[in-house]
Each structure stands twice: as structure tokens, then as C-alpha cells.
């Protein structure tokens, strides 16, 4: 009776003669480093690691992979940054470990958030005025449901598109 081989045995037999060239090995190493950095960033954001322990882990990664990890770290942090979320911890990491001046990014985020707040407040006042005018509903207890307002949603999307472009341009500069 014949021997039954596992899938792994079959794959190993078929690929025994294959080997990676230098470029493929470098890319594989870079991908592994990127995954490890993502894990470190996740721990840092989850407050499992503080900035000093992050620095130690980063140094250990650089030593074991023999690759300068600052650019990869910077790229991974940039990929996590968004306009809508507060990423003060990641911006601090960029400043301290990657030596990047993040003031312009912080300013853009603040401008964006202020503009969204202003538009939301303005729209809430408009809705209150409409409720008072059309339905004779007014008073200090009236709280319009601006989350369900289609006009506000369109306005915010427009602001997001404008600031996302500015934000991405600024990230590219840094």
C-alpha cells in the first residue's frame, strides 16, 4: 500500500529546488519588520508599552533585522493617522523617535475639527430655527438630532475631502 503524504510534504517536494534571490530576501525581511512594528504600535496605542520600552523594542528589532527601522516606523505611523481620531500618542512617537516636527499636522487636525464643530453648531441653530418657524417648537430643551441631518452630513463630507487632501499633502512633505 502506498504512503499517504501530507499537503506540507507535497509542497516541500515541489519547491525543494526553489530559493529566494537577494531582493526577495530583503523584501521578506522588510515585510517581517513591518509586521513586528505594527505589533509594537498596537501595544503602544494600547498603553502596554511606554515610549522608553518602545524605543528598546525598536532598537532590538533593528539589531535583529539589520535594517534601519525609522523610515518603516514613520510610514506605519503615517498610515494610522487620520483627521477624525486623536493620535497625540502617535504624534509624540513621530517627534521623539523619528525626529519629525508634527506641528503642521496638529494644526491641520485642529483646523479641521474646529471647522466641523462650527458647521455642526451652525446647522443645529438652523434646525432649531426651522422647528420654531414651521412647527412652533422652541425652548432651551429643544435639541435637534444633527446626526440624522443629511445636509450636515454632506457639509462634513465636503470638509473632510478638502482637509484630507491637505492632510495627505502635508504628510507627504514630512
Q: What is the pLDDT of residues 139-168, one digit of tens each?
A: 888 888 888 889 999 999 999 999 999 998
Whole-number pLDDT of residue 5: 67
What tens digit of pLDDT does each residue of 55-104 get? 999 999 888 877 778 888 998 998 898 888 888 899 999 999 888 899 99
Residue 169 lies in a domain: yes
Whole-number pLDDT of residue 7: 79
- Tell whether 118 and 65 lie within a shared domain: no
User: Which residues contact residue 109 at a Cβ distance below 8 angstroms, ignoring those fewer than 6 apart?
Assistant: 83, 167
- Tell whether 110 and 91 lie within a shared domain: no
Match 493617522 to its residue by C-alpha cell.
81
Question: Domain boundary at 81, 100, 119, which?
Answer: 100
Q: Domain limits at 82? A: 20-100
- Tell whether 111 and 52 lie within a shared domain: no
Question: Domain boundary at 100, 117, 145, which?
Answer: 100
Residue 12 lies in a domain: no
User: pTM for the full model?
Assistant: 0.71
Residue 173 lies in a domain: yes
- Tell whether 125 and 67 lie within a shared domain: no
Residue 100 grid cell: 519629525
Domain count, the chain: 2
Residue 6 lies in a domain: no
- Tell whether 162 and 148 lie within a shared domain: yes
- Tell whether 87 and 117 lie within a shared domain: no
CA distances from 16 to 3, 8, 43, 68 (A): 19, 12, 38, 32
Question: Domain boundary at 100, 129, 147, which?
Answer: 100
- Tell whether 126 and 154 lie within a shared domain: yes
Residue 132 lies in a domain: yes
User: Cα(47)–Cα(139) distance, rounded to whole angstroms?
Assistant: 44
Residue 14 lies in a domain: no
Amino acid at each position: 500500500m502506498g504512503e499517504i503524504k501530507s499537503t506540507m510534504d507535497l509542497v516541500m517536494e515541489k519547491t525543494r529546488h526553489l530559493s529566494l534571490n537577494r531582493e526577495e530576501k530583503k523584501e521578506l525581511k522588510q515585510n517581517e519588520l513591518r509586521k513586528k512594528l505594527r505589533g509594537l504600535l498596537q501595544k503602544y496605542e494600547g498603553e502596554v508599552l511606554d515610549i522608553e520600552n518602545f524605543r528598546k523594542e525598536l532598537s532590538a528589532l533593528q539589531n535583529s533585522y539589520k535594517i534601519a527601522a525609522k523610515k518603516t516606523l514613520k510610514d506605519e505611523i503615517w498610515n494610522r493617522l487620520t483627521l477624525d481620531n486623536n493620535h497625540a500618542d502617535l504624534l509624540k512617537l513621530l517627534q521623539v523617535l523619528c525626529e519629525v516636527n508634527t506641528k503642521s499636522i496638529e494644526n491641520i487636525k485642529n483646523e479641521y475639527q474646529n471647522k466641523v464643530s462650527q458647521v455642526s453648531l451652525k446647522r443645529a441653530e438652523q434646525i432649531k430655527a426651522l422647528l420654531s418657524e414651521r412647527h412652533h417648537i422652541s425652548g432651551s430643551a429643544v435639541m435637534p438630532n444633527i446626526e440624522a441631518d443629511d445636509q450636515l452630513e454632506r457639509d462634513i463630507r465636503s470638509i473632510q475631502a478638502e482637509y484630507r487632501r491637505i492632510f495627505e499633502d502635508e504628510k507627504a512633505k514630512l
